[in-house]
Amino acid sequence: MTLPRTPVKFHYIFNLRDFSRIYEGLLRSTPDKFGSKEQLCRLWRNEATRVFCDRLINPEDKDLIEKKMIGSIVKEFFSGLDDAILREPLIVGDYMTSNPADPDAVDP
């Protein structure tokens, strides 16, 4: 029995530290900013996309992660909320309260 040969992409090596970065982003959220399930799941999607897709080098691999893997996880575990969670564009940030010029400002 011979297996089909596919190129192995050694530059895509992920470890537990990558998963911890996703959960670190989730743990920095507060209920006043992310009060609903949809908002928290969109934050999870943003963190997972940021951690994994930022390393990918071609659009096919990014599509695989964003559309197929993350999309299928959302549809399986959050079937009623999948439209809200997978809505585009995916923009999460707290830039309005940031003031780098003010030394007394609290970094969000």
Q: Which of 33, 7, 37 has the alpha carbon at shortest distance from 96?
A: 33
Residue 89: asked if its preceding bond is cis (omega within 30°), the reply is yes
The reply to whether 8 falls in a domain is no
Residue 50 CB partners (closer than 8 Å, separation 6+)? 25
Does 69 fall in a domain?
Answer: yes
- pLDDT single digits (tens) 3-49: 455 554 656 778 899 999 999 989 988 888 888 999 999 999 999 99
Residue 58: pLDDT band by 50, 70, 90 thresholds?
A: confident
- Asked if residue 72 is part of any domain, the answer here is yes
- What domain range includes position 30? 16-85
Span 72-97, pLDDT tens digits: 999 999 989 999 999 998 887 766 56
Q: What is the pTM of this model?
A: 0.75
Q: How many domains does the chain have?
A: 1
**40 found inside a domain:** yes
Question: Is 25 within the bounds of a domain?
Answer: yes
Q: Does 77 reside within a domain?
A: yes
The pLDDT, as a whole number, for residue 14 is: 81
In a domain, 71, yes or no: yes
Count of positions (residues) in the chain: 108
